[in-house]
Structure 1
Amino acid sequence: MSSVLVSCLLFCILASSDFRIGYGQTTYNVLDHGAVGDGQRDDTKAFLKAWNAVCLDKGAPRLVIPGEMTFLLQPTKFSGPCQSSSIHVEISGKIVAPSPDAWKECANPWLAFSQVTNLIVSGSGEINGQGSSWWTKYDQLNYVNKVQCERPKALGFRRCDNLQLSGLTHVDSPKAHISIQSCNNATISYLTIRAPEHSPNTDGMDISMSSHVNIHDCNIGTGDDCIAINNASFYININNIQCGPGHGISIGSLGHNGGYETVQEIHVQNCSFTSTMYGARIKTYQGGSGYARKISFEQIALRTTRNPIIIDQFYCNGQHDCQTSVGCSPRASEVTYNGFHGTSENEQAITFNCSQSIGCANIVMNQVSITSPVPSEEVGASCSNLANSITPN
């Protein structure tokens, strides 16, 4: 048999199911596993069927969600551990959530990846949480098939070490758009995250219990924190983020319900805050304990930011009379603000509202130039319970 004929036969055998490229890499297309992609019919089973095939592949498979199609998914868990050495999920199409009344079960998050090592999620596609119907009832629980459900986050990663997430557009999550929990060595880049300014608690990214996370080159505008760094997060680098609208880049909140919570080695640089409610923010509850330390915000551009620099150790998530609370709070220390330039919409541009019982320590300010957008008006600062000196230059 000629070598040409053998090659043709091998190609036909491989092409009869999933298509293998390179060495040990197979491409699995959700359309080949029953997905319709019309945005109306439920494609959940097809996605799970494709995922199970990918997870059992012992090579480095690729899961493809093709472009110019819309896939409706119920709450879906993409679970590991997998036999694959790495998995690449390539999203070119649009994935949408059902309306709240059409959810078949409560789930948080809506799309969940767990215990998948060396996971790559990338593409030019969109993940749309269809959140507006949830927001109208955000003070209440939503009912799904007569079961009380809290508003879900849209996309979650839990225990996914060596994660790479890039390129996608994330729109209108019911709550936070992206949750990173218990992940080590993650890179998040080139994302666009969008929700209206009035949408409640629609954080761009929530990071918790994770370390060595690099976030860069993202454009985020939501109704809450663009990025929130929460408990047990260490060595987080954030670079070149355009934030606005939203509540800035926040450390915390920490110490809720008397908890011991810690954050360390958080470095934010080359970021901009445009028409945000806050800029560089650290927030802790009274009654809690722990620390937020070794934190830096450097080379920050401000454009009519309402509260450009703030440490609030009396945070209480919108409740009143927090200042009258007594007790400890997670301590904020070794915090550097360097190279802030731009305008503050509020007369008070800098606020250090630190607790008398614990205070804030070793706060350094260098080359901070914040002015009013109105030439005839001035901006100022408010400071309380600072240990050691603030060092302006």
Structure 2
Amino acid sequence: MKEWKIQFSNVDNLYLDGDGKIDGRGSIWWQSCMKKSVYGISFDCKRRPGALHFNNCNGLQLKGLSHLNSPRAHISIKNCKDVIVSDLEISAPDESPNTDGIDISNSYNVQILQSIIGTGDDCVAINGGSSFINITGVVCGPGHVNVKNCTLTETQNGVRIKTFQGRSGYARKISFEQIVLSNARNPIIINQFYQDKGKLSKGIMKAGAIEITDVTYSDIRGTSANDQAIDLRCDNVVGCSNIVMRNIDITPGVDCPETYAVCNNAHGSATETQPRVPCLS
């Protein structure tokens, strides 16, 4: 059984554009996953293929296609750099197991733009060895965004969620797991008041904010380049809810005497978290 239904390897400057549809017809595979044998997960579930895989394809552009009902992940991007993915629609039922929308691993400078993703697992999963990943204008749900097993070394920001002031909508079901920080600035930050530097409104605060909820940070360890290691800046009216932190240990890095957390109108829980986050009970 092939690991992927469609696979491209070692093809530079590949350009795929159109309004066609890739239907993985995954329902029969999902059924096998939902039926556990006496020995655990069925063999058919373990060997089900993903739909579309790119390996070592630099300069890849993928635009306009619809992806439906993959047996496993819909799109995988591995060992690639300078990738633009835009205007896609990816969908699978909420109960379909492990049907990630886009999986990224060991890749550099990947942009996911203006797409609609709703699956039974991660909308976008950013895995180890990846850097300079930009996700903009993506509608996610059902499903969630997962960033896992990444190392951030001397980055301007660590794990950051920023939403534009005065906009409406939501950012939810986002998780950051197993992150290693090495002298990173702003290791953990949520900013509901973000504005483009070129479009600042001269101190005028716009009404409204994008709702941020169901965000989990777990197993994040390392050093911070500045003393404000955790910064949760949430709108006074909309706020941030169900923010969960567990097993966080951020210590002072080079030229940083201490670390602390600041927060405004963020609600949730924190366990085994250093520095202490005062607004999370």
> Aligned to 2:134, what secondary structure does the other structure show?
strand
Provide the TM-score with structure 2 as the length reference: 0.70
* Correspondence 1:230 to 2:127: yes
The 1:129/1:199 distance shift into structure 2, 3 A limit, reads same
Shift of 1:127: 0.8
* Correspondence 1:388 to 2:275: yes
The 1:336/1:112 distance shift into structure 2, 3 A limit, reads farther
> Aligned to 2:137, what secondary structure does the other structure show?
strand
Mapped to 1, the partners of 2:43 and 2:152 lie a distance apart of 31
* Correspondence 1:158 to 2:60: no
Q: Which residue number in structure 2 is paired with residue 351 of structure 1?
A: 244
Q: Which residue number in structure 1 is paired with residue 210 of structure 2?
A: 301
The percentage of aligned residue pairs carrying the same residue is 32
Q: Which residue number in structure 2 is paired with residue 79 of structure 1?
A: none
Which is richer in strand?
Answer: 2
Q: Which runs of 5+ in 2 are unaligned?
A: 34-40, 193-208, 252-258
Shift of 1:221: 0.6
Mapped to 2, the partners of 1:354 and 1:386 lie a distance apart of 6
The 1:136/1:159 distance shift into structure 2, 3 A limit, reads same
Mapped to 2, the partners of 1:369 and 1:342 lie a distance apart of 8
Provide the TM-score with structure 1 as the length reference: 0.52
* Correspondence 1:282 to 2:176: yes
Q: Which residue number in structure 2 is paired with residue 207 of structure 1?
A: 104
Higher relative contact order (CA 8 A, sep 6+): 2
Q: Which runs of 5+ in 1 are unaligned?
A: 1-105, 144-148, 255-260, 314-328, 371-379
Instruction: Report if the CA contact (8 A) 2:221-2:250 is conserved.
Output: no
Mapped to 2, the partners of 1:343 and 1:171 lie a distance apart of 35
Mapped to 2, the partners of 1:232 and 1:116 lie a distance apart of 20
Task: Output the amino acid matched with 1:301.
Answer: I
Shift of 1:216: 1.3
Mapped to 2, the partners of 1:218 and 1:156 lie a distance apart of 18
Larger Rg: 1
> Aligned to 2:25, what secondary structure does the other structure show?
coil
One of 123, 142, 155 as aligned partner of 2:44: 142
Q: Deviations over 1:115-157 (max 9, x none)?
A: 11111111111111111110111231229xxxxx612111111
Instruction: Report if the CA contact (8 A) 1:157-1:180 is conserved.
Output: yes
Q: Which residue number in structure 2 is paired with residue 310 of structure 1?
A: 216
Instruction: Report if the CA contact (8 A) 1:161-1:184 is conserved.
Output: yes
* Correspondence 1:251 to 2:157: no
* Correspondence 1:116 to 2:11: yes
Mapped to 1, the partners of 2:147 and 2:230 lie a distance apart of 11
Instruction: Report if the CA contact (8 A) 1:236-1:267 is conserved.
Output: no
RMSD between aligned alpha carbons? Answer: 3.4
The 1:381/1:237 distance shift into structure 2, 3 A limit, reads same
Instruction: Report if the CA contact (8 A) 1:241-1:270 is conserved.
Output: no
Mapped to 2, the partners of 1:125 and 1:231 lie a distance apart of 31
Instruction: Report if the CA contact (8 A) 1:237-1:268 is conserved.
Output: no
Task: Output the amino acid matched with 2:44.
Answer: N
The 1:189/1:335 distance shift into structure 2, 3 A limit, reads farther
Shift of 1:280: 2.5
Instruction: Report if the CA contact (8 A) 2:58-2:81 is conserved.
Output: yes
- Paired positions, count: 234
Task: Output the amino acid matched with 2:9.
Answer: S
